[in-house]
Amino acid sequence: MKEIPMTVKRSIELLGLFLVGALLVLGSNIIMPLIMAFFISIVLLPPYRFFRKKRFPNVLAILLPILIMLTVVAAIGWFFSAQAARLIADFPQIQKNVSLHLNSLSRWIDQISHFSPTEQIKFVNEQSAKLLNYAAALLGGAAGSVSSAFIFMGLLPIYVFLMLNYKNLLLRFIFMWFPAEQHDKVEEVLSESESIIKSYLIGLLIQVTYMTVFLGGILLLFGIKHALLIGVLFALLNLIPYIGALIGNILGVLLTLSSSQSLTPVLIVLCTIAFVQFLDNNILMPRIVGSKVRINALGAIVGVLVGGAIAGISGMFLSLPVIAVIKIIFDRSEMFKPWGVLLGDENPNESPMRKRMLRSKSDLVREKLEAENDIETTDKSEEVQERKDP
């Protein structure tokens, strides 16, 4: 049989990736709840297995972890509502502080430029009118967005329940999709994907907890108003890689400015966030999540932006675990292995232009680069045993 030319293979690859992207864009309202439910069901597998070992009925063993998850979500919602009530109660003082800061800014602009206060007010009014028009356009689809969000949240527990209930059926379907000689590789991909998803998402839950307590606690010690709200907002926004931390910093500064007439609290907030982020990025998070699969910064940022364009905030949040699973699949597929290299962080110390060995798809080369970049490998026997149901 005549071998397919390389150009045709590459064209098929690109066409396949384009079709997958188009499918995600067109069917994001259906696909995103399924992906989110899949990741949540992976996280709930350990408590589900624990209840099954204790001889709980299958339905009860599924419902109990889901109820625990809903309780945690309800507690977070209650905390936000309590903090929002405090913020609303301080609104007159916030309005006064904002006016003070705007007047100071106006005087500073007047000193360094030719814009008089009258021209500044005119400029602000023009921009405000544009902003209001833009906001009106956004609010036009707000009802649809809110209803979509409620449908999304309502479907999640149902999807999680059904995925845990039919997990053996889904696994059978996956294995039947591939020939028998590839089943070992499929089992390896499933085991490693489960390990990565669990370590990443459970690590994020731990991260949100300690960042809220740590950041909020330090700001409370300094007497910053709305310290806990700043802490939890930054911790939740930090779940969105790269972009979330920037938005969290901006919101923290705005909340502090609106609650204080001095700039000193703003400096305290910025320095505290920088300190907590340094500890989180360099000490705490690597130990919690580990480094079994690392995505390079370029791939992560592009993935976050693409995820946001496809499915908004949920797409940005899910981008890294999805890319990690895709990389695991690509690394074990001969056709898509170059794409796995493109997403990964196995950065060679030498140029492939000079060292020909680095041009190879060999697993030995990949393992060597993983060792050079301090990327852990998965203990396959343990993962396979852990995945087996009681």
Q: What is the mean pLDDT of residues 237-257?
A: 78
Q: Is the pLDDT of residue 59 over 80?
A: yes
Q: How far apart are CA 279 and CA 276, in angstroms?
A: 5
**pLDDT band at residue 188 under the 50/70/90 scheme:** confident
| Residue 295: strand, helix, or coil | strand
Summarised one tens digit per residue, pLDDT across range 12-26 is 777 877 787 788 777
Domain residue spans of the chain:
27-177, 181-292, 293-371
Q: Is the pLDDT of residue 389 over 60?
A: no
Kindly write down the DSSP assignment for every residue of 338-370, as one continuous string.
HHHHHHB----SS-TTT-GGGG---HHHHHHHH
Q: Are 58 and 220 in contact (CB under 8 A)?
A: no
Lowest mean pLDDT among 6-20, 107-121, 197-211, 376-390: 376-390
Q: What is the CA radius of gyration of the chain?
A: 25
Q: What is the mean pLDDT of residues 344-363?
A: 76
Write down the pLDDT at residue 64: 93
Q: How far apart are CA 110 and CA 324, in angstroms?
A: 51
Q: Is the pLDDT of residue 76 over 60?
A: yes
Q: What is the DSSP letter of 332?
A: T
Q: Which two tokens stand for residue 254?
A: 């705005």
Residues 6+ away with beta carbon under 8 Å from 255: 226, 229, 230, 233
Summarised one tens digit per residue, pLDDT across range 102-154 is 667 666 666 676 666 666 666 656 665 565 555 445 444 444 444 566 666 77
Q: What is the mean pLDDT of residues 357-364?
A: 74
